[in-house]
Amino acid sequence: MNVLLVEDEERIAAFMAKGLRRGSHHVEVIGEGLPAVGALAEPDCQHDVVVLDLGLPDIDGLEVLRRIRAYGSAVPAIIVTARSGVADQLRASELGVSDYLVKPFPLTLLLASLARLTETPSP
Amino acid sequence: MSQPGGWPTRARVLIAAVILVGAVTLVFRLPEIAAWTLLDLGLCAGLVALVAIGELFQLELPYRSEKVTFSISDAIWTAGLFLVPPSVLATGLVLGVLVGQLVQPWALVKVAFNAGQFLIGINVALVLFSAFGSPSVNDPLGWLAAAVAMAGFQVVNMTLMAGVISAIEREPFWSVALVQTRVLHWVGNLAIGIVGALLWVAEPRAVPLLAVPLVLTFLAYRGWLRSVEERDAMRELADEAEQISSGGGTSRLTLPPGQEDARTLAVSLNGMLARLEGAFERERLFIRETSHELRTPITICRGHLELLDTEPDATELKETVDLVVDELDRMARIVEDMNTLARMEDPASLRRVEIGVDALVADVAAKTALLADGRLRVARSTSGLQVTADAQRLTQALINLVKNAVQHTPEGTLVELRATSRPAQWRFEVADYGGGVPAGSEDAVFQPFCTGTSTRPGNGLGLAIVSGIARAHGGRAGLDNRPGEGATFWLEVPR
């Protein structure tokens, strides 16, 4: 799959990208929210899925999601965050995320989430 | 009473019956009333006036949503048994109660009920009194007769009142009926009534003198009732406090109506509860933020170790080990800072000594020289003055301020450290030219783990520690923000 990884913590982005590539995915890493919105809102966006951190330096990950949904993007999203609160999970669920993984998580969980997406194509 | 609309049928029927029976007893007295002499009429008017005045000096004992009332009226009935014809007593009683109670802000149904139950009671008393042959007040048998008659009056009153209250409050009859003040009420009014009647017979001009012991009794009785109310209010506060501490119901005490001392206590206890709640909330927030903050290094360690090959080459192994050790160091720093922060707020943990301000500032400059890389300028103008503070803590606070400035501002920009003497305090300032903090976040930057940007170094506890050290010294820490230009972080400690 063509994965856009939005994660500001370089060391986290590094192992996640490494793990995803080992899982035969193509990965592009962006460290801030606004450039991610730009990349996902493009009409010829090539990303099959966005793996999104919530605590980004410029705008919140949920705001990234809200904006791309407003642009009409239905790209599947998987949240990876240290925020485990119910309010965030509810809000993410309202914005139609496919999965919500709380850090720290086994990389196999993320790979399994991606595998599920390929099994059930998004509408 | 609570709203009549919500009363159970049992209470409504009882109230209606009491009012009806009371009215019927009065109707039976009509032939006697028709035969009244002018003296009877005058006696009746006098009784009405006395009873109405007596009703105005009622004492009330709150009982749940109800109030049990006490008055001197029973003494007037007692004297009336000896001195006036039964029809005059019954009529004077009901008119006096109506006049006295209608001026009170009470529901009409309550006044009517009271008049009804008094009429029933006085008729029972009159029957009992006549059973003794209606003896004279000069005859001790008359006192016994009056005692029995007024006991009957009391029993009727207590039964009817407790019946209604227990029906409205849906409580067992006896728990309401056994309010312990009844016996005192009966004995007191009986004695006053008998003495009043004796005085009237012996020397009517001396009757007004009775007002003096009456007033004293009234005051003593009122004081006692208030102490009972106060005690009950305190007990309720204690019960509520017990409920709050066991985690049930609300988190604040109800303010007892009318109880000045208990109210004051409840208000101050509520203030304490609010402060404790704030402290618990801050602690919860701190724990949540800390666990959130620790997730990042744990995630990094876990992720990199998970991806380590089973037979890694030397370079990959070294990189991973270095990275994990570095992240473990970050966790250790967070834990150490948390520990520092927890101890920092306690003024008792301070070791205050006299420190030379110049020496302190020079020490901070020396300890941050490497980090500041030539960007720190120190202004010394205190000419050997002293500050009383915990040297180690104050140094740590100033180092944190300098570190914060250096780490959050562009390389090459200046950071200035200076100490100024003010009338009541010492003020230490660290000024930078890094553009300032976002407007509106001036207070938030002193909260634990408030980072402003997640790409900055440090772990977000440095300024919280500064604030804690300032507070432990009885001072405070703050920030003069100059958005677009820079910020001056300051710490004040009392002189």
Residue B454 — very low, low, confident or very high, per pLDDT cuts 50/70/90? Answer: very low
Task: Render A65-109 in DSSP notation, one character per residue.
Answer: HHHHHHTT----EEEEES---HHHHHHHHHTT-SEEEESS--HHH
pLDDT score for B456: 44
Task: Write the CA distances from B432 to B142, B368, B483, integer angstroms.
Answer: 99, 15, 11
DSSP letters for B297-315: HHHHHHHHHHTS-SS--HH
Contacts of B432 (CB under 8 A, 6+ apart): B405, B408, B409, B413, B414, B415, B416, B486, B487, B488
Q: Is residue A122 part of a domain?
A: no
**Nearest CB to A55 within list B303, B307, B454:** B454
Per-residue pLDDT reduced to its tens digit, A69-102: 998 888 999 999 988 889 999 999 999 999 999 9
**What are the chain B neighbours of A55 within 8 Å (beta carbons)?**
454
- Domains by residue range for chain B, with CATH: 4-202 (1.10.1760.20), 266-344 (1.10.287.130), 347-494 (3.30.565.10)
Q: Do B454 and A56 touch (CB under 8 A)?
A: yes
- Inter-chain touch A107–B303, beta carbons under 8 Å: yes
- Model confidence band, residue B185 (pLDDT cutoffs 50, 70, 90): confident
Determine contact: B310 vs chain A, CB below 8 A. no
What are the two backbone dihedrals, phi and then psi, of residue B177, each rounded to the nearest 5 degrees?
-70, -30
What is the average pLDDT across B260-273? 88
Q: Is residue A78 domain-resident? A: yes
- Within-domain flag for A119: no
What does the mean pLDDT of chain B come to? 84
* Count of helices and strands (H, E) across chain A: 5, 5
Mutate to test the interface with A, among B287, B290, B295 (most CBs of A within 10 A): B295
With 80 as the cut, is the pLDDT of residue B7 above it? no
The string of pLDDT tens digits covering residues B195-222 is 999 999 999 898 888 888 878 877 887 7
Q: What is the pLDDT of residue A48?
A: 93
- Calculate what percentage of chain B has a pLDDT beyond 70: 92
Residues A103, B455: C-beta atoms closer than 8 Å: no
pLDDT recorded at residue B340:
81
State the average pLDDT for chain A. 90
**How far are the Cα atoms of B40, B140, B379 from residue A21, in angstroms, in the given order?**
114, 113, 55
From B237's Cα to the closest Cα of chain A, the distance in A is 36
pLDDT at B186: 83
| Contacts A105 to B, Cβ<8 Å | 299
Binned at pLDDT 50, 70 and 90, residue B448 comes out as: confident
Taken in order A57, A58, A63, A64, the sign of the CA dihedral is negative
Q: How far is B419 from chain A (nearest CA, A)?
A: 34
CA–CA distance from B378 to each of B384, B400, B406, B431 (Å)?
15, 15, 14, 11
In a domain, A115, yes or no: no
Segment A4-33 shows an average pLDDT of 93
**pLDDT score, position B453:** 47
Q: How far is A11 from chain B (nearest CA, A)?
A: 6
Q: How far apart are CA B73 and CA B87, in angstroms?
A: 17
Q: Which domain holds residue A28?
A: 2-105
DSSP states along B192-218: HHHHHHHHHHH-GGGGGGGHHHHHHHH
Cα–Cα distance for residue pair B252/B306, rounded to 1 Å: 51
Cα R_g (chain B), whole angstroms: 41
How crowded is residue B484: how many other Cβ atoms within 10 Å of its Cβ? 8
Partner-chain residue, chosen from B299, B306, B455, that has the shortest CB–CB distance to A8: B455
As a whole-number percent, the residues of chain B with pLDDT over 90 amount to 24
**Placement of tokens 């009014």 in the chain:** B189
Average pLDDT over residues B23-28: 89
CA dist., res. A29 & res. A6, Å (int): 6
- Those residues of chain A whose CB sits closer than 8 Å to some CB in chain B are 8-9, 11-12, 14-16, 18-19, 22, 55-57, 82-84, 102-107
Interface confidence, given as ipTM, is 0.87
Beta strands in B365-450 (DSSP E): 376-379, 386-390, 415-421, 425-432
Give how many domains chain A has, as a whole number. 1
Domain assignment present for residue A110? The answer is: no
User: Is residue A101 in some structural domain?
Assistant: yes
pLDDT of residue B91: 92
The CATH number of whichever domain residue A39 belongs to comes to 3.40.50.2300
Confidence of residue B457 (pLDDT cuts 50, 70, 90): very low
Mind listing the pLDDT tens digit for each residue in B74-99? 888 899 999 999 999 999 988 888 88
Q: How confident is the model at residue B5 (pLDDT cuts 50, 70, 90)?
A: low
B453 contacts in A (CB within 8 Å)?
A: 57
B414-444 pLDDT tens trace: 999 998 888 888 899 999 998 888 887 777 7
